[in-house]
Every structure is written in structure tokens, then in C-alpha cells.
Amino acid sequence: MKIYAQTASFFFTDFDQDGRPDNISFLIKRIKVHTSPDDPDYRFVGSYGVEKFLELFSEDDYDAFCLAYMFTYRDFEGGTLGLAWTGDLKNAGGVCEKNGHYRGSLKSLNTGIITLLNYGKHVPPVVSHVTLAHEIGHNFGSPHDPEDDLHCTPGGDHGNYIMFARATSGDKKNNNKFSPCSLRSINAVLNTKARSVKGCFTEPLDAVCGNEVVEGAEECDCGWEEDCLEPCCFPMRVNPPQDQPPCRLRPAAFCSPSQGPCCSHDCRLKYGVVCREDNGCRTASHCEYPFVDHFKKNQKKKVQERECTGSICMAYGLESCQCIRSYHDPLIRSCELCCKLPGDELSCKSSFEWNLPPYDVPDLYAKPGAPCDNYNGYCDVHQSCREIDPSGPLATLRNLLMSPEGVAILKKWIAEKWWSMLLLFFGSAIIVVLSVRLLTRRNAKNFLSTILPGQTDFRICNIRSSSRSHPSCIVTSPSGNSSHLSLNKNRVSRPRISAAPENGWV
């Protein structure tokens, strides 16, 4: 979590575009880890769509925080990696928003969710970091970058910006920057909702005891008293005793598990234990003192910024690209691993076609969750490119809280489709007139005919409103014989619910 906060601080810099940092940084205030589905505070048991999942998470009160985020490991439909309430100058939602009544229930709209699972595969950190920045961008007031604006959605070798509506690889030059469109939107919302007197932004702190992240002068940090599960560190309390200073090691404790995986639960240092597995780019790490990081290069992957983020293409002097499927190509074409000569878009072709040295790239498919179709979708586990509907989840949220954007879209539609509105109006008027005429003509007959289904006969009842006598039914049997049956007004028969026999009605 600390790495996510640090990375987000790197993304969120100069929103007023004056060439100087805006002094915005992210600091974790509290972490809550759900370890059991039986926990009474855990309300996410079962399968939920991304919109419902965010709604459930928003039911708690997060007034003590500028933003609250849920990290989960669920495979949401359509390749959705995250969702958040969008900040707005006029309507509720986004950063610093207080808990309130929305559509009949209390909700906190300063929230968002991130999943680290996409099409059955773990999302690489470089992508999940951009995803978090994207969702916080919504909280800060930015919509998606308009796809018809080349300044804000340039594409190409430099990639698109953080608020691009569709897929991202996370490793392009623009992937960790906000577009000019986003900067304008975010700056306006922050000035109104966050930086103002009533805003939630505060002066930065060196450390926050109780957030389970060892910072500043802290010796350890196991969280608040109700969350701390170790005997090595004094937890954070509302009124801590003087002899139990929060975020300090207890007497006789050599270390705390909150410091890292090389401390045991009996507060002793571990030696020689594997604390980080071999991931193909980096050899396994062991608990040793001082700690040494080991890295290695692998023919199939490339080491970038301490993570395996590059494509196998780089190992052969090529660059990664996305194959564009033509009409006659098989569906899996879009999810074949593709490479190109550096700077040459026309040379982009599948790894199945790079067969001659020095470019004899192994025949491979893109891993599930990789972007495809020019960043318009993600590959699934069947090597099929799933197109993303960028407005799907956000449209659902807008329906929950109608925004001026939705009203503007409706007005624009009416202006463009005015003839449709006229047809709808006149069509509705004609239906109403015909309905009134039919009902009037029927009432003129002054009686109501009702057909009652029977097991062996049909009862045709004519109930005349002008008759003072009891209404009667003419009962017609299959043989053609008829008889009159008197109906007593004072006798009311109620239907009985039972299982229907095989031969018909009851």
C-alpha cells in the first residue's frame, strides 16, 4: 500500500500548470484488512458486479478521510479494473465528499475500488498503479479524455494519458501523466472542494501512526488496537498509556512483523528464509543482513524499474506492438504477441511470423489482461480480445446520481432527434384517443361480459348495471345444453390455491 501511495504522489503534481509542483501527496491514514468472510463487518460475500461492489463499499462512513479505497482480487465483467465516484463542481461525489443521503440511503461518495485480477491473471503493478491514478483522477473531477481530441488522446508510440477510457499497458511515456483536458477539470474541482476552507486537504505529515506502514521515526506500526494482531509493537490507541508509546517496539522485542517478512511472530529476526520468490526477472531473496536485492535477466522478459514489465520483443532488439486483425484473420490474431522494428509501425507482425535470426522470437500469445485492438480491449484466457465499454459502469453510477453531464446529453439528443420526439408525442396522443373511444363505446353497451374458465364448461356472465334483479350466468356445457344459474350478490367466492391437475383448470 505504501508503494501505491508513493506512486500516486508521483502522478499528481502540477494541476494549475504553472510549472511548479502543487504540493499534493498521498499519505495512508488507516488500513483495514478483511481476513475472513465470516467477519460481521464484511459485507462482500458472494458475486457482485463492479457497480454494486462500489455501492456496498460506499455504505460505510469515511468522513475522516479525503478518499477511501477498497483493493480486491475479483474478476469483474468486461475487464473492468476499477471504478470510482467522479468529483463535480455542482453535484455530490469525489474527493472530500461527506457521508450523506443519496437515493434514500446513507453513502460516502469519496470512494473507489481497484481489483488486482483481470481475466484470471494477476494485474502487473505497473498497470494497477496507473489504474489507481485513473480512479483517483475521477475522484478529483476528471472525466475520461475525449477520444476526438488529439491533444488529450494522442495514442501512437507515446501512448495515451492516465484518463484514457479504454485499455493501457502502463509502460508508455504518456501513461503516467494527466492530459491537458484532465488538468483543467481537476484543478477547478480541487480549488472548490479540497483546497478551500471547507476542504479536506491538510498539511503533510512525516508519519501517521496506526496506518500499518512504518514511516519516519516509527520503530514499527501494527495499526490500531483493534487491528493489531502481533505481540511485538505497541498499537495506536485513542488514549495510550505513557509506558506504552504507540508505534514503538515492546520490551524484549527485537523486531516487528510490521517491518517486513524477515521478522517472526515471536519478535525475532529470521535468517536464510525466502522472503521473496523468483519471478523470472529477479532471483529469490532471502532474509540476510544487510539486505541485498538480486536481479537477473531472462530471455522472455526484460527488467524495468525492478519489475518484469517489458515484452519478450525487447530481448530480440524489437519493440512491442499490437497486431491489427483484418476481416479474414482468425479471432485470436488480436491476442498474438506482436513485435516491430524500433520506430517502424509498418513492421508490426505476430511472433509467429518472426522466424529468422536474429529475430527468431518464440511463438507466443499475449498474456490474459494484456491490451489489444489498439488499446480498445483486453485479451482474455481464450486469446480473444474483449472490447471495453468505457461508459458502462460510469453510466450506471450517473443513473444513481443524475449529473449535469447526463442532462446535457439528453438535451443534445432532443435537439438532434426533435422529429423523434414529435413522433413519440403524436403517437402517444393517438393511443390515448383510441383508448378513450374504445372504452366509451364499450360502456355504451351498458354491460360487461366476463368469461370464466371451467374444467368442463364456459360460464358467460352478463352483468347489467340497470337491472335490479340478480345477475345470471348462462352455463354452456360441451354437449350444447344450457341452463340459467342465479348469482347471489351477497355470496362471495374466493379462489383457492392448489396444484393444477394434469387435465386442465381447477
The Cα 347–Cα 485 span in angstroms is 90
138 known ligand binder: yes
Annotation marks residue 225 as catalytic: no
The Cα 475–Cα 484 span in angstroms is 6
The Cα 436–Cα 427 span in angstroms is 14
Torsion 13-17-21-24 (CA) sign: negative
Please report how the helices 404-416 and 392-400 are oriented relative to each other, as an axis angle in degrees rounded to 10.
100
Q: What is the DSSP secondary-structure string of 295-349?
A: ---BTTB-EETTEE-S-GGGGGT-EEE-PPP-TTS-GGGGGB-EEE-TT-GGG-E
Dmax of the chain from CA atoms?
106
User: Contact at 8 Å (CB) between 23 and 201?
Assistant: no
Q: Where are the beta strands (DSSP E) in 127-255?
A: none
**Could you tell me the CA-to-CA distances from 501 to 171, 261, 451 in Å, in that order?**
68, 69, 21
The Cα 67–Cα 62 span in angstroms is 8
Q: What is the DSSP secondary-structure string of 80-95?
A: --EEEPPP-SSSS-ST
Q: How many CA atoms lie within 13 A of 241 on its CB side?
A: 4
Phi then psi for residue 476, to 5 deg, are: -110, 120
101 known ligand binder: no
Query: At which residue does the C-alpha cell 461508459 appear?
Result: 391
Q: Which of 135, 212, 230, 336 is catalytic?
A: 135
151 known ligand binder: no
Judged by DSSP in three states, 286 sits in strand
Enumerate residues 6+ apart whose C-beta is below 8 A from 312. Answer: 299, 300, 301, 302, 337, 351, 361, 362, 364
Binding residue numbers for Zn(2+): 134, 138, 144
- The set of catalytic residues is 135
